[in-house]
Amino acid sequence: DSGVTQTPKHLITATGQRVTLRCSPRSGDLSVYWYQQSLDQGLQFLIQYYNGEERAKGNILERFSAQQFPDLHSELNLSSLELGDSALYFCASSVGGAPTNEKLFFGSGTQLSVL
């Protein structure tokens, strides 16, 4: 068990809808990272927050947004969903803000299916 909690584990929704994925980092970790894993794109970095502030941005679509709250949990909001958004979404956490120097701890992921 990595100590990173993601909810829900599975999510089934329809095109055009909006969903929210939640992540609770390990106790004491200040950084939260979001990744998308799909068969055709592999594991893609979306965005990182450190202590409530956006730290780094990857290939995140404009329809997607995230935030990190004062208690350090994070939410990833996906809107106007398309079939291609179906993927496994991972959250990871680390103590510091520079992934180069950190060990990332990954949650078990949220499997999103858009029908």
How many Cα atoms sit within 13 Å of 79 on the Cβ side? 7
Contact stretch for other proteins (CB under 8 A) within 20-28, 69-77, 79-87, 107-115 = 107-115
The answer to whether the CB of 32 falls within 8 A of the CB of 26 is no
Among residues 27, 62, 71, 101, which is the contact residue for other proteins, using CB under 8 A? 101
* 16/84 with CB nearer other proteins: 84
Per-residue 3-state assignment (H helix, E strand, C coil) for 71-102: CCCEEEEECCCCHHHCEEEEEEEECCCCHHHC
Residue nearer to other proteins on the CB measure, 54 or 82: 54
Q: How far, in Å, are 5, 47, 59 from residue 36 at the CA level? A: 16, 10, 9
Among 20, 56, 65, 95, indicate the residue that binds other proteins (CB under 8 A): 56
Choose the binding region for other proteins from 12-20, 37-45, 66-74, 77-85 (rule: CB under 8 A).
Answer: 37-45
Q: Which residues bind other proteins (CB under 8 A)?
A: 2, 4, 35, 42-45, 48, 56-58, 90, 92, 98-101, 103-109
